[in-house]
């Protein structure tokens, strides 16, 4: 059976990268505890604005920002839905969301769920 993947792209102010990493580490542990198989957060290293579309254009990147690209892997969409329900009810995540301002602009974030159709490993 193919895995299911949630993908996220968000703009992050460069001066908040460390805060973003800390938030992601805490959130990632919660996702894994509730059943996600893999949790990855990455920061743009070689991402250029395109002429038609690109990650910077998609998040309306501003001066002093970079792009974070993230994904979470689950066994299936059904497992993903169950994991996300548990994560959203987790008091640790609720505290993170209620007691702090996220180190990114969530209004310019985009995300979605994807069914894996090809998966190769070495």
CB-based contacts of 107, cutoff 8 Å, min separation 6:
none
- Is residue 121 situated within a structural domain? no
Number of independent structural domains in the chain? 1
Cβ atoms 109, 10 nearer than 8 A: yes
Q: Is the pTM of this model over 0.85?
A: yes
- Is residue 122 situated within a structural domain? no
**How much is the pLDDT for 53?**
87
Q: Cα–Cα distance between 97 and 84 in angstroms, integer?
A: 15
**How much is the pLDDT for 24?**
96
| Helices of type H across 11-106 | 17-33, 55-58, 77-89, 91-99
Other Cβ atoms within 10 Å of 35 Cβ, number: 15
**Alpha carbon of 91 to those of 9, 35, 62, 100, 101: distances in Å?**
25, 16, 33, 14, 17
The CATH number covering residue 60 comes to 3.30.70.100
- Is residue 29 situated within a structural domain? yes
Residue span of the structural domain in which 30 resides: 4-115
Q: Cα–Cα distance between 28 and 31 in angstroms, integer?
A: 5
- Is residue 109 situated within a structural domain? yes
Q: Average pLDDT by consecutive 10-residue portion of the chain (122 residues)?
A: 92 96 96 98 91 90 96 97 97 85 89 93 89
- Is residue 120 situated within a structural domain? no
Take residue 106 and report the two structure tokens written for it. Answer: 């969530």
Cβ atoms 69, 42 nearer than 8 A: yes
């Amino acid at each position: 059976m193919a895995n299911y993947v949630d993908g996220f792209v968000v703009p992050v102010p460069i001066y908040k990268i460390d805060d973003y990493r800390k938030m992601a580490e805490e959130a990632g542990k919660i996702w894994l505890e509730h059943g996600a198989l893999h949790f990855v957060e990455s920061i743009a290293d070689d991402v250029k604005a395109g002429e038609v579309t690109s990650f910077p254009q998609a998040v309306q990147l501003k001066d002093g920002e970079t792009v974070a690209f993230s994904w979470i892997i689950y066994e299936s969409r059904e497992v993903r839905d169950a994991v996300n329900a548990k994560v959203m009810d987790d008091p640790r995540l609720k505290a993170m969301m209620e007691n702090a301002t996220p180190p990114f602009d969530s209004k310019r974030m985009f995300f979605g769920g994807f069914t894996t159709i090809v998966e190769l490993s070495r």
